[in-house]
A and B are shown apart, each in its own frame.
Chain A
Amino acid sequence: MLKPLARWFHRRPLAGLVGLLGAPMAWLVVVYLGSLAALLVSSLYSLDSFTFNVVKHVGLQNYRELWQRPVYARVAMRTLGVAAAVTLVDLVLALPIAFYMAKVATPRVRRALGVALILPLWASYLAKAYAWRTFLDPAGGLLRKTLGWSPGFGLSGVVIVLAYLWLPYAILPIYAGLERLPDSLLEASADLGGRAGVTLRAVVFPILLPAVVAATIFTFSLSLGDYITVGIVGGKTQMIGNVISANFGVNNVPLAAAFAVVPMIIMVIYLVGIRRTGALENL
């Protein structure tokens, strides 16, 4: 029944291509790039300070304000610091776990660890963040009760919880990278006289670099944009995400949009920097 249709498409390759990619392309252009454009445009509008209505008066006034009021720079730097710290913590945790999974564990243990990694991703983000809140609570939280100490709600709490939330996103690409690294390369290095340290430095790390970079892109960009965790375990800590959310709350969409551009610029600088190092050439 579908054969005539199949024949029609076979004779018209262009129609086939449109049929295949039409809907996703439309989605990408209209919804994805369209909303991005709307964000950029509205970041150029301004807020009427009397009526609290958005005025379509195009200019760089929002960016000027971000630049001139030191509080915004402080928030941006703090966010950057948190994202960097989360990335570092995740890498330190993910590298040995991924190595164990890919190169040491028996197939059964490997499967169990894989499930243990994926399972938390199915749980609600909010539930996990609130679970950590009861954990970190300086007055009577679990950490307080068992260890007698808790970092409490604040910057270090944010780093801990974000590092927990994004850990699977760091482990999975590194694990995949190590899976692709043949054991014989490790054996060849040992065979030629390389001890574990030399093998890691000269063979494993250079080959693994693209996977590590992929992991840092996840942890870094997810941390840059987060505002829920900060709200739940951050105490009075403010990050870019909170400030954007707060400005939306008071209808200052233009300033919120302008501030939302900041993490985007940071990510672009990060990616260009990585590209310069050549780490993405072997992807």
Chain B
Amino acid sequence: MTASLPNAVVTATAVAAVSIRGVRKLFGSGENAVHAVDGVDLDIADGEFFCLLGPSGSGKTTLLRMIAGFELPTDGTILLQGADVTRLPPFDRDVNTVFQDYALFPHMSVADNVGYGLKVKKAPKAERVRRVGEALETVQLGAYGSRKPSQLSGGQRQRIALARALINRPKVLLLDEPLGALDLKLRQQMQVELKAIQTQVGITFIFVTHDQEEALTMSDRIAVFNRGRVEQVGTPADVYERPSTSFVAGFVGTSNLLEGSVASSLLGVEGTFTIRPEKIRVLGTTETTEGSETQGGHDVHAPGMVQHVEYLGPYTRLRVALDAGAVLQVMVQNTGDGVARGPGERVVLAFERRHIFDIQ
């Protein structure tokens, strides 16, 4: 795991940027109490781009807010580079936050927004002006210092929020679904840019998102959250290729579940297994024998009927009802030389045992 994570290797012996020990957060009291975060342990290495991924209400944002100091944990400890900050107020922690709604001060110019942290810390004016200029250059908005936030587009506000947080050179930058409000194109562009900025400044980023694609593209490591707990921590490839629970398999990407009688009739074993839609090949009924010979690895064959066909541009998504039961999703790349399938058509699904994962 660490082999694909150069940053972690370098700092393996150093103190973690953020250590979370047995953190719990209870909202409300008595019978109405809700465990927003229910016993989380995490170590985030220095310089790492770390994603907290999970559906809404899974506790990822609450954990981020506890690291920032906006919420106090009910139990547990939060260490920032080895120092206990669990009970410190936000202004005494060397972390900064990029808020979901950007939280730019509407009555201040862009430059005053970016320079706010320096002004509060009473940095000399000349230094403030210089660093605000640099920070605005970093996010490519050098000419916008005198504007008001209301005169900027969503993407520009996002960059200003980033510049405002980064100018203080925090040890850790917390990002709370910062790209959620942007449209798809801009979001993808900002993903690349964020990653580049992170590499450039070398600050640990903790990034909260519910978008699994975003988490996979940007992170060094991902912690997948469900109901206040961490289900799996690992590199994007770990989490995607080797999901450790059925929740992770279902939440990160799409997975087909094989369970009960379907599992035993196809695989010959009881249990619950997953397979990714892109790992399945679709063959015609006549190809079955021939196909399995040429594609030696395909050791599982499951006949069935196409139920539904969705054309997605680069891919076509099929839903195939297996004779053994279960409906599987299959992704077929539109290479141009494949056979177009239609609803009602008989097919055989072929896949390899090594792509099937046993989950509890």
Chain B 116-150 interface mask (CB, 8 Å, partner A; 1/0): 11001100000000000000000000000000000
Within the complex, which residue of B89, B106, B168 is in contact with A207, where a contact is CB–CB below 8 Å?
Answer: B106
Known: A185-B103, A206-B107, A282-B107. A191 touches B120 (CB 8 A): no
Please determine whether B106 and A187 come into contact, CB atoms closer than 8 angstroms.
no
B186 to chain A, nearest CB (A): 21
Chain B 66-79 interface mask (CB, 8 Å, partner A; 1/0): 00111000000000
Q: Could you tell me which A residues sit within 8 Å of B by CB distance?
A: 182, 184-185, 187-195, 198, 202-203, 206-207, 282
Q: Which residue of A lies closest to B122 (CB)?
A: A193
Chain A residues, CB < 8 A from B70: 187, 190-191
Chain B residues, CB < 8 A from A190: 69-70, 89-91
**Could you tell me the distance between the alpha carbons of A185 and B117 in the complex, rounded to whole angstroms?**
13
**Could you tell me the distance between the alpha carbons of A191 and B68 in the complex, rounded to whole angstroms?**
7
Within the complex, which residue of B68, B103, B107, B121 is in contact with A193, where a contact is CB–CB below 8 Å?
Answer: B121
The answer to whether B247 has its CB under 8 Å from any CB of chain A is no
The answer to whether B231 has its CB under 8 Å from any CB of chain A is no
Size of interface on B: residues with Cβ below 8 Å to A: 24
Chain B 160-175 interface mask (CB, 8 Å, partner A; 1/0): 0000110010000000
Chain B residues, CB < 8 A from A184: 99-101, 103
The answer to whether B97 has its CB under 8 Å from any CB of chain A is yes
Known: A193-B121, A194-B91, A194-B120. A188 touches B105 (CB 8 A): yes
A146 to chain B, nearest CB (A): 38
Please determine whether B117 and A192 come into contact, CB atoms closer than 8 angstroms.
yes
A273 to chain B, nearest CB (A): 20
**Could you tell me the distance between the alpha carbons of A191 and B69 in the complex, rounded to whole angstroms?**
8
Among A184, A189, A192, max chain B CB count under 10 A is at A192
Please determine whether A191 and B96 come into contact, CB atoms closer than 8 angstroms.
yes
A-B contact pairs, 22 of them (CB 8 A): A184-B99, A187-B70, A187-B97, A189-B105, A190-B91, A191-B68, A191-B69, A191-B70, A191-B91, A191-B97, A191-B165, A192-B91, A192-B96, A192-B116, A192-B164, A193-B121, A198-B120, A202-B120, A203-B105, A207-B105, A207-B106, A282-B106
Chain A residues, CB < 8 A from B103: 182, 184-185, 187-188
Chain B residues, CB < 8 A from A189: 105, 116, 120
Q: Which residue of B lies closest to A209 (CB)?
A: B107
Please determine whether B101 and A193 come into contact, CB atoms closer than 8 angstroms.
no
Count A-B pairs with CB separation below 8 Å: 65
**Could you tell me the distance between the alpha carbons of A187 and B100 in the complex, rounded to whole angstroms?**
12
**Could you tell me the distance between the alpha carbons of A57 and B91 in the complex, rounded to whole angstroms?**
71
**Could you tell me the distance between the alpha carbons of A193 and B169 in the complex, rounded to whole angstroms?**
12
Please determine whether A195 and B91 come into contact, CB atoms closer than 8 angstroms.
yes
Chain B 301-333 interface mask (CB, 8 Å, partner A; 1/0): 000000000000000000000000000000000
Within the complex, which residue of A182, A188, A195, A207 is in contact with B107, where a contact is CB–CB below 8 Å?
Answer: A207
**Could you tell me the distance between the alpha carbons of A193 and B90 in the complex, rounded to whole angstroms?**
7
A101 to chain B, nearest CB (A): 21
Q: Which residue of B lies closest to A205 (CB)?
A: B107
Supply 12 further A-B pairs (C-beta < 8 A) apart from A187-B90, A193-B117, A193-B168. A182-B103, A185-B105, A187-B70, A187-B103, A188-B99, A188-B103, A189-B105, A189-B116, A191-B165, A192-B120, A193-B91, A282-B106
Chain A residues, CB < 8 A from B100: 184
Q: Which residue of B lies closest to A195 (CB)?
A: B91
**Could you tell me the distance between the alpha carbons of A192 and B120 in the complex, rounded to whole angstroms?**
8
Q: Could you tell me which B residues sit within 8 Å of A by CB distance?
A: 68-70, 89-91, 95-97, 99-101, 103-107, 116-117, 120-121, 164-165, 168
**Could you tell me the distance between the alpha carbons of A198 and B119 in the complex, rounded to whole angstroms?**
10
A9 to chain B, nearest CB (A): 38
* 10 nearest CB pairs, A to B: A192-B117, A184-B103, A188-B103, A190-B90, A193-B120, A206-B107, A194-B120, A191-B97, A184-B99, A193-B91
Chain A residues, CB < 8 A from B68: 187, 191
Chain B residues, CB < 8 A from A192: 91, 96, 116-117, 120, 164-165, 168
**Could you tell me the distance between the alpha carbons of A188 and B103 in the complex, rounded to whole angstroms?**
6
B131 to chain A, nearest CB (A): 13
Among B91, B96, B104, max chain A CB count under 10 A is at B91
**Could you tell me the distance between the alpha carbons of A206 and B101 in the complex, rounded to whole angstroms?**
20
B123 to chain A, nearest CB (A): 10
**Could you tell me the distance between the alpha carbons of A190 and B68 in the complex, rounded to whole angstroms?**
10
Chain B residues, CB < 8 A from A282: 106-107
Chain A residues, CB < 8 A from B120: 189, 192-194, 198, 202
Chain B residues, CB < 8 A from A203: 105
**Could you tell me the distance between the alpha carbons of A194 and B95 in the complex, rounded to whole angstroms?**
13
Q: Which residue of B lies closest to A207 (CB)?
A: B107
B346 to chain A, nearest CB (A): 56
**Could you tell me the distance between the alpha carbons of A223 and B107 in the complex, rounded to whole angstroms?**
31
**Could you tell me the distance between the alpha carbons of A190 and B107 in the complex, rounded to whole angstroms?**
17
Within the complex, which residue of B90, B104, B121 is in contact with A191, where a contact is CB–CB below 8 Å?
Answer: B90
**Could you tell me the distance between the alpha carbons of A189 and B164 in the complex, rounded to whole angstroms?**
11
B30 to chain A, nearest CB (A): 14
Chain A residues, CB < 8 A from B95: 191
A255 to chain B, nearest CB (A): 46
Please determine whether A188 and B97 come into contact, CB atoms closer than 8 angstroms.
yes
A51 to chain B, nearest CB (A): 61
Chain B residues, CB < 8 A from A191: 68-70, 90-91, 95-97, 165
A56 to chain B, nearest CB (A): 53
B135 to chain A, nearest CB (A): 13
**Could you tell me the distance between the alpha carbons of A185 and B70 in the complex, rounded to whole angstroms?**
12
Among A184, A188, A194, A282, max chain B CB count under 10 A is at A188
Chain B residues, CB < 8 A from A193: 91, 117, 120-121, 168
A39 to chain B, nearest CB (A): 39
